[in-house]
Amino acid sequence: MKHNWKVSLIFAALLTLFASYPAYSVKYDKSNPTKMYSKAYKMIDKGQFSKAQKILKNYTKSEPDDSDGWTLLAFSYRKLEKYEASEESYLKALSIDPENKSALEYQGELFVETNRLDLANVNLDKLKKLCPESCMELEKLESYITNSSSKSNI
C-alpha cells in the first residue's frame, strides 16, 4: 500500500488544529455554573476583577437566582469603580436574599466609598441584627466604616 504524504500532512494539520482548539476557545465551562463561579472566585482572589466580572455576568445569566453570584459580580464592579453597576447588582443580590451577610457588608463598603455613610450604618445595623453574637461580615464592615471615618478626620 502506497503512503500518501498529502493525506498525512492534512491529517496532522487538522489534528494540531483540533488539539489546540479548546485551549484557545474555552476558558471556562459555560455549561457548568459551578465551574464558572469557582473560576470567577479565583480571579477575584488574584485581583483580576475585570476577568471575574466577565465570567460573573455569564454566571448570573445562567443562575439568576444565586444571591452569592450577584454579590460577587457587584464586588467585581465595585473594585473596578463601576459604582452604578455595583449598586444594581447588590440590590439584585439582596432582593433574592435580604439576609445575605456578604452582600450587606460589601454594599456597606460601597456606601462608604461613595460617601453615603448613613446607608453604610443602616447595613451595619442589619448585620448587628443578623449576627447578635457578631460575625466576620459585621466586624469587617464596622472596621471599614471606622477606618474610613478616621481617615476623613485627618
Residue 64 has pLDDT above 80, yes or no: yes
pLDDT tens sequence across 42-60 = 999 999 999 999 999 999 9
pLDDT at 4: 55
pLDDT at 16: 44
Q: Residue 31: pLDDT band by 50, 70, 90 thresholds?
A: low
Residue 22 has pLDDT above 50, yes or no: no
Q: What domains are there in the chain, each with its CATH number?
A: 29-97 (1.25.40.10), 99-154 (no CATH)
Q: Where are the alpha helices (DSSP H) in 80-135?
A: 83-96, 101-113, 117-130
pLDDT at 20: 37
Residue 110 has pLDDT above 70, yes or no: yes
What's the average model confidence in pLDDT over 118-147?
96
Nearest to 81 by CA among 120, 102, 109: 109
Q: Residue 82: pLDDT band by 50, 70, 90 thresholds?
A: very high
C-alpha–C-alpha distance, residues 91 and 138, integer Å: 19
Which amino acid belongs to residue 153?
N
